[in-house]
Amino acid sequence: MRVQILAALLLAAPLRAGSGPVLWTDDNIPAPVLERLTEAQDLALGLRYDEAEALIRGAQPQAPEHPLCGVFLVATLLSRIQEAFKSGAKEVPPSFFTEADALVAQCQRQLDAFPASPYPRLYEGAAYGMRGLAKLYAGNYVGSYWDGKKGAGLLREAVDIDPQLYNAYMGLGQFEYYCGTLGGVLQFLLALPGDPDKGLSMLKTCEDKGTYAAWPCKAYRIRLMTGERHDFAGSEPELAALVGRYPGNYDFALAVFQALDAGVNTAALRRAADDILRRLDQGWQPPKHAHCDPAAMRMDLAKACIAAGDKDSAAANLKILLGQPEPWHGRAAGLLQSL
């Protein structure tokens, strides 16, 4: 037993180059810190960015040299920027690049000290990818191009060293997908070949086999499936699971009703739709740029219930719509008469 305990401690201990720097990996980040980081990640996916950032910054002093803390922080800051741009923001805060530049430099020091390890490449590849996307939002297209290529190259090197480094497949899948959506001429001129289907497959690999990247990868893949490809059949039941885990994320809420309207009429999606409407009735207010229309959403659910043969649920929703102004009152009255 003592030998087993000693072996476990040795495996968890950070590796050092002699008396020099520590090699930080996914395996030697303190468990309480990783728990806080993943909790913050869930908050960010639920669009609770201030709480997420505060939780990450509170955890950082417990592992100040571990790059993964910076990766989670920069990812949260980038997600907040992306949400702000949806509402009409035009600028990327300079403070983001301060954090991203520091993370790139931190990861490069790790890579210089441990050139044979995949982990510095994993973290630095993520840092370059996120900084590149922010540069795109900032209008720095050349800088975005080079950061994106650098990041993808580092992630490929990481996977070449360790093919089971499944968390890397999130960044690789994103890059592969979006390069594949470029026109053929652009792909050739920019030397950015890609395949959207291969990108989605890589994202699914991360979702199924990754650790801390699994849920954000699921969220990202389902956004692509529902938002860009309108493949609602291929996104269920993951969509229902995402709505349950991130009830404050309006993108997933809207996608549920879009799926029902497209004929993907499952019991899980109807339950999710009913829960979303209940939360709206209780005061949940998505941002204005989400363009949520509770009456239209309730009509979608009522029609889905009719198609599924659930007349009682359909009638309950239609009776609520009777209290709405036209055209909802008239449409609901007509459907009630047909039940």
pLDDT of residue 179: 84
Residue 281's pLDDT band, with cuts at 50, 70 and 90, is very high
**How far is residue 122's CA from residue 111's CA, in Å, rounded to a whole number?**
10
The backbone region for 265, taken as left when phi is positive above 0, alpha when psi lies in -120 to 50, beta otherwise, is: beta
What stretches of the chain show up as alpha helix (H) in DSSP? 2-12, 31-45, 49-59, 67-86, 94-113, 119-137, 141-161, 169-180, 184-190, 196-209, 214-223, 238-245, 250-261, 267-281, 294-307, 311-321, 328-338
- Give the pLDDT score at 46: 97
pLDDT given for residue 20 in this prediction: 80
Find out whether 238 and 219 touch, Cβ atoms under 8 Å: no
Q: Which residue has the tokens 């990041």?
A: 151
Residue holding tokens 């497949």?
169
Task: Give the rounded percent of residues in the chain with a pLDDT score beyond 70.
Answer: 91
Position 15 scores a pLDDT of 44
Task: Please compute the mean of the pLDDT values over residues 51-73 and round it to a whole number.
Answer: 98
Report the pLDDT averaged over residues 195-222: 96
Distance, in Å, from the CA atom of 164 to the CA atom of 274, rounded to the nearest integer, reads 40
Predicted pLDDT of residue 180? 76
Q: What is the DSSP secondary structure assignment for residue 235, as one 8-state letter?
A: G
Task: For the chain, give the mean pLDDT.
Answer: 91
**Of residues 142 and 9, more confidently modeled:** 142
Residues 6+ apart with CB under 8 A from 183: none
List C-alpha distances in Å: 44 to 13, 82, 106: 30, 12, 24
- For the chain, domains (ranges, CATH) are 242-339 (1.25.40)
Helix (H, G, I), strand (E, B) or coil at 23: strand
pLDDT for residue 4 is more than 90: no
Which pLDDT band holds residue 80 (cuts at 50, 70, 90)? very high
Distance, CA of 8 to chain centre: 33
C-alpha torsion 29→59→248→287, nearest 10: -130
Predicted local confidence at residue 5, as pLDDT: 32
Largest interatomic CA distance in the chain:
81
For the beta carbon of residue 308, count every other beta carbon within 10 angstroms.
Answer: 15
Query: Is the link from the previous residue into 237 a cis peptide, with omega within 30 of 0?
Result: yes
49: left (phi over 0), alpha (psi -120 to 50) or beta: alpha
pLDDT at position 224: 94
Cβ distance 106 to 67 under 8 Å? Answer: yes
Q: What is the pLDDT of residue 183?
A: 55
Q: Which residues pair with 16 in a beta bridge?
A: 22
Residues pairing with 85 in the sheet: none
Q: What pLDDT, on a 0 to 100 scale, did the predictor assign at position 331?
A: 96
Euclidean distance between CA atoms 127 and 321, whole angstroms: 49
What average pLDDT does this structure show over 123-128?
A: 98
234, pLDDT greater than 90: no
* Model-wide pTM > 0.85: yes
pLDDT at 248 over 60: yes
Residue 3 pLDDT grade (very low, low, confident, very high; cuts 50, 70, 90): very low
Summarize pLDDT for 95-116 with one digit per residue, the tens.
999 999 999 999 999 999 999 9
Q: Quote the pLDDT of residue 17.
A: 42
Structure confidence by residue, pLDDT tens digits, 146-194:
999 999 999 999 999 999 999 999 999 998 998 877 654 344 345 566 7
For 306-338, write each residue's pLDDT tens digit.
999 999 999 999 999 999 999 999 999 999 999
Alpha-carbon span 82 to 79, nearest angstrom: 5
For range 293-310, the mean pLDDT: 97
